[in-house]
Chains A and B, each alone.
Chain A
Amino acid sequence: MTRSRAASIDRGETRWLERARQGDEAAFAELVEAYQRPVYNLCYRMLGDAGEAEDAAQESFLRAYRGMRRYDPKRSFSTWLLAIASHHCIDQLRRRRLPVDSLEELEPWEEIPDTGPGPEKAATLREGRETARALLARLGPQDRAVVVLRYWDELSTEEIAEALSLTVKAVKSRLHRARKQMAESWLRNEPEPAWNGGRADVASAV
C-alpha cells in the first residue's frame, strides 16, 4: 500500500476498526495485515536495520492495539498508526545517540530479498535503497520522520504535522532543512560536472 486512502474508507476496514475498538483480536489482525507494509517501511527507513524495523513495527502495532479505545474514528487510521510508529522510532533513535559522521562509516546495506521484479528493476530498486539509506542517515530523527512520511507515505503537510505533533510551519521548515541537507550530501558524493570547474558549496548559496 503506497498510501491506502481508498483502504481507509473501505467498508471492510471500518468494520475491522469498530470490532478492534471493542477488543476483537481477529479484527485487529486484519488491520495488521493491511498496514504491515507502510508501518514496517516507515520503521525500516527510520532505523535502517531490518531486525530493528521488525521489532519496532511489532511494538507499534502492539501500542496501537492497546490504544484502540482511545482511537478517534473521525481521524484517519493510517495517519494515527504511522504517528505511533514515528514516535516509537524517534524514541529509538534518540536512545541510540550514535550520530553517523560520514557516509563511509555506515554499515553495509542489508540486502532484502527482491521478490517479483526482474534483474533490471531489482538493480534500480537496490540502487534507490542505497541512495535513500545514505541520504536519510544524515538526518536527525524528526527530520527523517518528516521525509519518510512525505516521500513514502505521501502524507500532506497537515497530516505530517498531526502525526508528529508539530505545527504546519515546523513541518515545512524541517522538510526544507532536510532537503537541503540531503542535497548537500548528494552533491558531496557526486562527481563535479565539467562545466563548473570545481565544487560549489550549496551552503554558500544561502
Chain B
Amino acid sequence: MSHQPFEDWILDDEALSGEEQQALDAHRAVCASCTRLGTARTAVDRGLRQAGMVAPSAGFTARFSQRLVEQRVRDGRRQAWGTFALAAAAAGVVAIPLVFRLGQDRMSPGEWVVQMLIRLYDAWIGLRVARGFIQVAWNSLPDALPPAWILGIMAACLGIGVVWIATLYRFAYRRVTEGA
C-alpha cells in the first residue's frame, strides 16, 4: 500500500483542502501505519508544547554585565599585547641586522658604543642619500617610465600604507564594542 502523499500530509504544516482531508481520513481508516504516525505526530507536538519555556536563574542580566566587564579587560590585554608585538616586530626588523653585524666583532663596551654611534651616523647619511635618490627619481621618473608604471608603483605604495594603517587599527585602536 502506498503511504504517499498521506505521510507528507501528516508530517507537514500545510493546511489540507476538504478533499485532501477526506482522502487522508479514508486512508487512515484502513492503514494502521499512518494512523500510528498521526497519533505519534500529535503526541510529539503535545509533548514539545507542554514543555514550556525554561527561564535562566535570577540575575542573568547582572551576570552578563559582569561578563562584559571581564571580556573588556581581556580584550584590552589582548589589544595591548598586539600593539607590543607589532612594535617589537618592527624594532626587531630594524635592530636584529644591526646587532648581528656588531656582534660579529668582539669589542669592549666603549668600542661598541663608538661603533653604534658610527653606524647611526652612517644610517643618517644613508637616509640623506636615499632622500636625494628619491628626489632625483621623482624628478626623472615621468620621463623614464610610462604613466601606467608610475600609477602602478603609487598604487602599490598606497596599498602597503593602507595595510599598515589597517593593521595598526586592528591591533591598537579598535574599540572592544566592535568585536574581535
Interface residues of A (CB under 8 A from B): 1-2, 23, 25, 29, 32-33, 36-38, 40-41, 44-45, 53-54, 57-58, 61-63, 65-69, 112, 124-125, 127-129, 131-133, 135, 147, 151-152, 157, 172, 175-176, 179-180, 182-184, 186-187, 190, 193, 196, 200-202, 204-206
Closest B residue by C-beta to A22:
B177
Interface residues of B (CB under 8 A from A): 3-4, 7-8, 11-13, 31-34, 36-37, 40-41, 43-45, 47-57, 60-61, 63-65, 67-68, 71, 175-180
Shortest CB-to-CB span from A103 to chain B, Å, is 13
> Cβ of B48 and Cβ of A151 under 8 Å apart?
yes
A interface: dominant SS: helix
> Cβ of B34 and Cβ of A205 under 8 Å apart?
yes
Of B34, B41, B178, the residue contacting A179 (CB under 8 A) is B41
B interface: dominant SS: helix
> Cβ of A40 and Cβ of B60 under 8 Å apart?
yes
Of B7, B12, B71, B180, the residue contacting A205 (CB under 8 A) is B7
Question: Can you sample 17 A-B contacts with CB below 8 Å?
Answer: A25-B68, A29-B64, A29-B65, A36-B61, A37-B53, A57-B60, A61-B64, A62-B67, A127-B50, A128-B51, A176-B12, A179-B44, A180-B11, A183-B37, A187-B36, A190-B40, A205-B7
Contacts of A129 in B (CB 8 A): 51-52, 54
> Cβ of A202 and Cβ of B54 under 8 Å apart?
no
Shortest CB-to-CB span from B76 to chain A, Å, is 14
Closest A residue by C-beta to B31:
A205
Using A125-B50, A132-B48 as known contacts, say yes or no to A172 and B60 having CB atoms under 8 A apart: no
Of A25, A37, A65, A204, the residue contacting B33 (CB under 8 A) is A204
> Cβ of B61 and Cβ of A128 under 8 Å apart?
no
Shortest CB-to-CB span from B178 to chain A, Å, is 7
> Cβ of A205 and Cβ of B68 under 8 Å apart?
no
Which residue of A38, A41, A63 has the most chain B CB atoms within 10 A of its CB atom? A41
Contacts of A124 in B (CB 8 A): 50
